[in-house]
């Protein structure tokens, strides 16, 4: 089959990388892709969804896979489906789970899913009253999409009120903040769980742990994610079952009853408090960088799972993962990430002579482009992810960091402690 992948990050690179191993996949297109995805397929510079759907029809694309949230929230799936095309991802209506935190929290409440206590409001007075009744810290969230920056963990009530004021006035995040969610702070550890859904049935993928903060020991500002590993030992069968029974099943049932059956990936951002799962947020796509590790753990063809999800046939799917295998991914970011953009810098990757490393690692390219001489340049915030595989988290981690040592560009920075929570156990 021929596949179109929408997006340009490391997540989309890794989906392409996995699909390329599938015998049934013939040609891969990326829209728009990045400076390295052209090694896996062909980059297409079409942005408009209708034009892209026309392109997919002309080229007889069998499956379109949407990586990022923006096109999903803006209705790319509806447009493709109206044209009779097969596309992996939720409808515009269901994508509101990520597009609006108010919508998401209201769904959680309506479907009886455990989450932090909250109010939604557009009034500073109401927000202030709620804040004054709460213990500290307090979490203040802008309603709309803010590229991961719309969440403030306020250490004091005063700070929470200031954050609410900044958002509601439109100063902090423009229109995305004119409605807010104020909620209690949950103290536990975070997990990312992905359920691939077809509207009715679902497959739960092995749980991942991301590292959102810029610096070691979870210090510094929040980022899109500085590294992740899969599977994490911080979840056992009992906890998986709680997540299925209390979170995934009621969410899919509720959305179906409300006329917006969910298909695509439901990304459940969980906080585990005293061994109980609480939903922090839903996203409606694969996590980045979690996807970069997940994609190399499949034993069964990824294309088959995505196609069956997109066509409502997940009940017939057999999804298998490599046995006793772990993947650790370390993000290499550019000098000024996440504050501002950085000067383009040439990327040099040393030849990997070590057979063991060659066979058990790969680079997922994200914020990269090519100059006119064909040189690969670091041009984005998160430039690439070095992924190592191994029969233990430690082995996978060591390989990932060995690979980090083989990659050079000016200003390169990374965390040195990815997977530390698993390794200290
Ligand atoms: P979100 O975009 O809602 O996932 O929030 C981004 C990050 O803020 C999460 O990954 C958590 O680290 C943190 N966070 C969000 N909500 C809460 C909460 N209620 N309690 C503690 N931490 C939170
Ligand atoms: N890694 C977190 C995210 O993709 O939102």
Tens of pLDDT, residues 160-191: 999 999 999 988 888 887 889 999 999 999 99
Whole-number Å distance, alpha carbon 79 to ligand 2 midpoint, is 25
Question: Which residue intervals of the chain bear CATH 3.30.1490.20?
Answer: 123-178
Question: Which residue intervals of the chain bear CATH 3.30.470.20?
Answer: 189-316
Query: What 3-state class would DSSP assign to 354?
Result: coil
Nearest to 193 by CA among 263, 144, 241, 253: 241
Task: Determine the topology of domain 326-424 in CATH.
Answer: 3.90.600
Query: What is the percent of the chain where pLDDT is above 90?
Result: 93
Residue pair 45/38 in contact by the 8 Å Cβ criterion: no
**Predicted local confidence at residue 172, as pLDDT:** 85
Give residue for tokens 């954050």.
163
CA distance 339 to 335: 9
Residue pair 419/397 in contact by the 8 Å Cβ criterion: yes
- 2-88: CATH number: 3.40.50.20
- Tell how far CA 329 is from the center of its chain: 13
The pick from 97, 98, 108, 139 for probing ligand 1's pocket by mutation, whose C-beta has the most ligand atoms within 8 angstroms, reads: 139
Cβ(98) – ligand 2 distance below 6 Å: no
**Predicted local confidence at residue 136, as pLDDT:** 94
> What CATH architecture is 189-316?
2-Layer Sandwich (3.30)
Residue 146's pLDDT band (boundaries 50, 70, 90)?
A: confident
Question: Which residue intervals of the chain bear CATH 3.40.50.20?
Answer: 2-88
Cβ(281) – ligand 1 distance below 6 Å: yes
- Quick check: 123 pLDDT over 90? yes
Tokens found for residue 148: 């991961």
ω into 231 cis (within 30 of 0): yes
Query: What is the percent of the chain where pLDDT is above 70?
Result: 100
Cβ(225) – ligand 2 distance below 6 Å: yes
Tokens found for residue 326: 């772990």
**Predicted local confidence at residue 424, as pLDDT:** 87
Question: Which residue intervals of the chain bear CATH 3.90.600.10?
Answer: 326-424
State pTM to two decimals: 0.95
Tell me phi and psi for residue 392, to 5 degrees. Answer: -145, 165
> What CATH architecture is 123-178?
2-Layer Sandwich (3.30)
The pick from 265, 267, 270, 329 for probing ligand 2's pocket by mutation, whose C-beta has the most ligand atoms within 8 angstroms, reads: 267
Tokens found for residue 241: 């079952």
CA distance 351 to 347: 13
Tell me how far CA of residue 254 lies from CA of 94, 228, 338, in angstroms.
Answer: 11, 30, 37
**Predicted local confidence at residue 144, as pLDDT:** 87
Cβ(288) – ligand 2 distance below 6 Å: yes
396 CB neighbour count, 10 Å cutoff: 26
Contacting residues for 214 by C-beta, under 8 A, at least 6 apart = 220, 221, 222, 223, 226, 337, 338, 415
The pick from 99, 209, 210 for probing ligand 2's pocket by mutation, whose C-beta has the most ligand atoms within 8 angstroms, reads: 210
Beta bridge partners of residue 398, listed in sequence order: none
């Amino acid at each position: 089959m021929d596949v179109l992948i929408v997006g340009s990050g490391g997540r989309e690179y890794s989906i392409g990388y996995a699909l390329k191993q599938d015998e049934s996949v013939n040609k891969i297109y990326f829209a728009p892709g990045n400076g390295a995805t052209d090694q896996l397929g062909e980059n297409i510079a079409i942005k408009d969804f209708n034009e892209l759907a026309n392109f997919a029809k002309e080229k007889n694309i069998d499956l379109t896979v949407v990586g990022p949230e923006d096109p999903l929230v803006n209705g790319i799936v509806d447009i493709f489906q109206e044209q009779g095309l097969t596309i992996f991802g939720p409808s515009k209506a269901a994508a509101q789970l990520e597009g609006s935190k108010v919508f998401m929290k209201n769904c959680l409440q309506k479907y009886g899913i455990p989450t932090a206590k909250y109010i939604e409001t557009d009034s500073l007075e109401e927000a202030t009253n709620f804040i004054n009744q709460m213990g500290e810290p307090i979490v203040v969230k802008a309603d709309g999409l803010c590229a991961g920056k719309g969440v403030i963990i306020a250490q004091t009530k005063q700070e929470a009120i200031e954050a609410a004021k900044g958002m509601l006035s439109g100063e902090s995040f423009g229109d995305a903040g004119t409605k807010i969610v104020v909620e209690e702070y949950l103290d536990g550890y975070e997990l990312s769980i992905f359920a691939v859904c077809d509207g009715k049935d679902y497959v739960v993928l092995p749980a991942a742990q991301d590292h959102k903060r810029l610096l070691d020991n979870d210090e510094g500002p929040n980022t899109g994610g500085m590294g992740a590993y899969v599977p994490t030992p911080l979840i056992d069968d009992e906890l998986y079952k709680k997540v299925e029974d209390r979170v995934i099943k009621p969410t899919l049932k509720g959305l179906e009853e409300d006329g917006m059956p969910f298909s695509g990936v439901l990304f459940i951002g969980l906080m585990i408090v005293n061994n109980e799962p609480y939903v922090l947020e839903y996203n409606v796509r694969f996590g980045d960088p979690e996807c970069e590790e997940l994609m190399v753990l499949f034993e069964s063809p990824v294309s088959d799972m995505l196609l069956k999800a997109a066509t409502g046939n997940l009940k017939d799917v057999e999804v298998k993962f490599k046995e006793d295998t772990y993947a650790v991914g370390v993000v290499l970011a550019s000098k000024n990430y996440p504050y501002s953009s950085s000067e383009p810098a040439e990327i040099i990757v040393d030849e990997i002579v070590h057979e063991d490393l060659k066979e058990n690692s790969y680079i997922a390219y994200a914020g990269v482009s090519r100059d006119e001489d064909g040189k690969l340049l670091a041009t984005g915030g998160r430039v690439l992810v070095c992924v190592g595989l191994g029969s233990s988290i430690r082995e996978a981690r060591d390989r990932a960091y060995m690979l980090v040592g083989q990659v050079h560009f000016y200003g390169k920075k990374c965390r040195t402690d990815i997977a530390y929570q698993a390794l200290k156990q």
